[in-house]
Structure 1
Amino acid sequence: MRAMAAFVVACLAIAVAPASAASGATLAWRACPGVDDTRLSCATVQVPLDHARPSGPTIDIMISRLPATDPALRRGVLFTTGGGPGGAGVPEPLNLATIVDPAVRDRYDIVGFDMRFVERSTPITCGQPEEEPGGYWVRTATYQSLEDTAAEAREYARACARHTGWALPFATTAQAARDMDVIRARLGERKLSFLGGSYAAMLGVAYGTLFPHRVDRFVLDSPVNYDLAWRPYELKRLPAFEQNYAAFTGYVADNSAAFGLGATPADVAETLSRAFAEAAIEPIVAGDHAWTTGELGSLTVIATYFEHLWPVVATNLAAIVARTPPPIPLDPRPTPLPGTPGVPADNHTAVNMAFRCGDNVWPRDLATYRDDLARLGSRYPVFGPSIANLNPCAFWPVSQDNTPPLASNRAPAALVLAALRDASVPLANSTATARSITGSRLVTVDKQTHVPLLSGQANACLTGIATAYLVHGHLPKRNTAC
């Protein structure tokens, strides 16, 4: 009760302008903060902090636009944003432009946006001095007790309430989806198309549930199953994490002459396990950086997600184990583009936690986490002690179910893309999404990757299907394995 009262006081105290009533009013386009490419322009859209109170306080959402290359063929707008939650979306039109077929660029203005509370869109903070590795708060039961993790998680939740209490009740996927519809209206568009991956694809699903009559052509690349977000989804992906990690250690062992981490998968796993344990006691200094266990874990997660990055991750891990500078730098913590002003030091982690904790109710009792760790920690020894562990959501001051059920989605058919060996969003998520949106088609590739189209790992078959759908509206007659 005390925390909720603080939210109310904070909401009344923030200085915000009344919501704009001008649906489709002219937007003031300008250069995008942190983006040098002059093809991309940005504008600010005000949206209600709480869409249940459209005349109440507002926040700013920054949007970007990359105009269609052939105005004569222009169909409309193709929305996109970053994944996470917590990834920036303003630069995404430039990234998407390098991936999609030129025929798609001809027909759509690609519109990106930083989701509410991310970077350029009224950013939030939990008052921490830096991001968590990967922008994701996680602790491993192997290296500290559940009680110590609970104390750390409880303090993090309290810090978020102190610094960002006014925003936490409104950090939900459903609120962000409603932001999208305000942006659509301000752009003067009757409908919108969408291409997003991972969490962003789940955001697209939420939009289709809430605004099915506004949906044009939606491409959902590896969508999280909205009905499982968040803890059930995370626990259910443990088998895929372990399988992909085993494949990675097999690759490293097969190339032991190059990496020197072990001649068998078991040897490699033991070498890396020792490094994690050492880093838990004292970070491993390699060059000008001291690598923590969390950072090493974040680097390893990249290998479970993306098979094409195995050489990079293995090379870097070998260097760190040898206490030498990693030759192919991968920043273990998310950072905004240089020149992006006003982004708090922990913004991406704060957003990730705010949405994951705010979308629905998490278990509040330590016994649940203790049981999950006992049940899953031994079965999945590499990632079970982390993924099954407690996090700040157990102490989050806002706890209610804010997710419209996937079963209520009445959007037109979508194109759903997936990789068969995706650990981040296992195939069952995409299958459930495609099944729930009537008439949708699922297109898969047999790869160990995440977001196959957006990561650049799609083959010609999958890319061609996505192009045919976005350009001509043609969905495959049946689910397709590319």
Structure 2
Amino acid sequence: MHARKIVTAVAASAALMAGMAVTGQASAEVRSDARTDDAARFHRQALDWHRCRTGPDDEIGQALDAAGARCAEVAVPLDYRRPRGRTISVAISRIRATDPAARRGVLLINPGGPGGSGLPRPLLGRLMPDVAARYDLIGMDPRFVGRSTPIRCRWTTDTPTRSAGPARRTFDESAILMKELADGCVKGNRDLLPYASTRNPARDMDVVRAALGEPRLSYLGYSYGTYLGAVYTQLFGGRADRFVLDSAVDPDVYGPDLLSANGPAIDAALGNWASWAAARDAEYGLGGTQAEVLATVERVDRAATRRPLRVGAYRIDAHHVPYLLFIRLYDDSAKAYAGFAAEVRTLAGAARGEAVTVPASLKETLDGLFTGSGAAEDRAGTPILCADRAASRDLETYFRDIQAHRADEPLFGPMTRNLGPCSFWPTTPVEPPTRLGNDVPLLVVGADGDPVTPFPGQRAMHRALTGSRMVTLRGAFRHGAYLAAGDTCVNTTVNRYLVDGVLPDGDTTCDKTTER
């Protein structure tokens, strides 16, 4: 999914976190002696807790401090096969349980990505007060992300996600860009790249658990975080307490080509938004029926194919339009749909050759797309994808696949099936992909119209984890179900599990609450 944020009430609740890059490298001290096992010494390290704010411009650190959080650094091996070798640092945050007498343990929260910063996630406690009363909430910047020992890819874009465009020429243009992006991750990082795979942050999580003095770990993971959590249960199932996996990725597809089968789900989500916009044609002027709104979108795409659209300081071509549509489909709330409609209206005006006023949200996205000014989670996430599973280096494989699906996936297929930087990656995975298959009891939740981690893939994760129960939010076209505003059915089920340990007797379904 190339590290897009979950644009739901989960993210909206912590707007202070959104779009902020966290930088800096921390250090940690490991207490050891000759009698200590090489690997176990990391479990016994003493943590130095301190304020989270790193400077006057660190708004995330300031918010954490204001919420009573403390931060620390945990030392972990770069290569767990050689625990006497080089160590790196993993940054964590903690907000203690608000009801110490009822405290159960620790709950680590991962926002997804891969490449998402987990450090601010304990701030979500305000949305789940019953859970926050029972658990110390833990945030963790996975290795090479945020304040942890970083991999800094020198890019002038926030994301490698691009459409291959309409022709061989535009496909070759995207391949050139992907080669440049891969090269931009090599300098100063080559010795780190092989150790970015998901198995290693899962191992880091277990070091964090032990360093906190906890016998077991509870976990809430979104999107890519579901894969990270599932890998933890595969490696350390006996130490997994209560795990919630929201918007699960398909474990059989996860890797550099994760989006390859997403076209139909994205089309369905776009259609749902188009119906919403059509009912408000008087306000947005995009068309009075779903078909008319989709025709407006198609005209934008065709116009960008003929010549770049002038939108503010930027020129948007066929490589960019599908991406700009896709990232606005993570959230199906009325507020998100209204913002999306305003952006499409801007693009439609540009397609007609008009001078347009660019909404602030679209300008922020374009700034990141063309300059790399945003949070840049994809820069941190790409090394993880490339270390988890090797991508094909045969460019013709991608082009043939795109061509084979142009008729049935004309808008999004050339984006979801396009190659990425991993096809030019300088290193290969040092471990095979993790094969998931265990009976650890846990909860899988998600929306059946999710365009980012489609429902069939969620069910594949559920099948692989035979001890899991699944809660489906029916009729929702969003990425992220738990803590979404108004959907009390999912929230109640997850809270009951985390607080009381009660899993549903079987798989259950919740209906999306209709917004008025």
| Superposition TM-score tier, normalisation by shorter sequence | 0.7 to 0.9
- What is the CA distance between 1:362 and its match in structure 2? 1.4
Give the match's secondary structure for 1:332.
Answer: helix
- Segments of structure 2 that go 5 or more residues without pairing to the other structure are 1-24, 32-40, 350-354, 511-516
2:144 partner amino acid? F
Give SS of 2:108's match. strand
1:214-265 CA-to-partner distances (Å, cap 9, x unmatched) read: 1000011111122221256422222111111122223223322211223343
Q: Does the C-alpha gap of structure 1 residues 153 and 19 become closer, same or farther in structure 2, counting only changes over 3 Å? A: farther
In the alignment, which residue of structure 2 is the partner of 1:202?
227
Residues 1:422 and 2:450 are matched in the alignment: yes
State the partner residue of 1:26: 46
Task: Say if 1:17 and 1:252 are closer, same or farther in 2 by CA, change over 3 A.
Answer: closer
1:324 aligned onto 2:356: yes
TM-score by length of 1: 0.86
Q: How does 1:204-223 map to 2 (within 5 A)?
A: 204-223=229-248
What is the DSSP-based 3-state SS (H/G/I as helix, E as strand, rest coil) of the residue aligned with 1:111?
strand
Q: Do the aligned residues in 2 keep the contact of 1:235 with 1:387 (CA within 8 Å)?
A: yes
Aligned to 2:287: 262
Give me the whole-angstrom Cα distance separating, in 2, the residues matched to 1:156 and 1:478: 45
Q: Is the 8 A contact 2:304 2:316 kept in 1?
A: yes
Shift of 1:29: 1.4
1:113-159 deviation per Cα after TM superposition (whole angstroms, max 9, x unaligned):
11111111122222123423xxx433333264333322322232223
Alpha-carbon deviation of 1:314? 0.5
Counterpart residue number, 2:411: 382
What one-letter code is carried by the residue in structure 2 that aligns with 1:56?
G
1:43-122 alignment to 2 at 5 Å?
Answer: 43-94=72-123, 96-100=124-128, 102-122=129-149
C-alpha distance in 2 between matches for 1:163 and 1:279: 37
**Deviation digits for residues 342-365 of structure 1, max 9, x if unmatched?**
x99885222221112221121121
Alignment of 1:360-439 (within 5 A): 360-400=389-429, 402-407=432-437, 409-410=438-439, 412-439=440-467
SS at match of 1:61: strand
Tell me how far apart the structure 1 counterparts of residues 42 and 409 of structure 2 sit (CA, whole Å): 53
Match of residue 6 from structure 1: none
Q: Distance in 1 between matches of 2:215 and 2:448?
A: 35
**Contact persistence 2:449–2:455 (CA under 8 A):** yes
Deviations 1:10-62 (Å, cap 9, x if unpaired)?
A: xxxx9998966353433111222432132121111111111221111111111
1:80 CA drift (Å) = 0.8
Question: Whole-Å Cα distance in 2 between the matches of residues 476 and 148 of structure 1?
Answer: 50
Aligned to 2:5: none
C-alpha RMSD of the superposition:
2.7
Equivalent residue pairs, number:
453
Structure-2 separation of matches of 1:54 and 1:228: 31
Deviations 1:260-296 (A, max 9, x none): 223343443343344345556445234x666666665
Q: Is 292-301 or 37-46 further displaced after alignment?
A: 292-301
Q: Give the C-alpha shift of residue 88 in structure 1.
A: 1.1
Q: What secondary structure is seen at the aligned counterpart in 1 of 2:282?
A: helix
Could you tell which deviates more after superposition, 361-370 or 67-76?
361-370
Question: Structure 2: which amino acid aligns with 1:70?
Answer: D
Determine whether 1:235 maps to 2:260: yes
Answer yes or no: is the 8 Å Cα contact 1:124–1:347 preserved in 2. Answer: no
User: Helix, strand or coil: the match of 1:417?
Assistant: strand
Q: Secondary structure at the match of 1:98?
A: helix
Q: Distance in 1 between matches of 2:263 and 2:149?
A: 34
Can you give the 5+ residue segments of structure 1 that lack an aligned partner in the other structure? 1-13, 336-342
Q: 1:16 to 1:477 in 2, by over 3 A?
A: closer
Percent of residue pairs identical: 36
- Which of 167-176 and 25-34 deviates more? 25-34
Q: Distance in 1 between matches of 2:174 and 2:342?
A: 32
Query: Does residue 497 of structure 2 align to residue 464 of structure 1?
Result: no
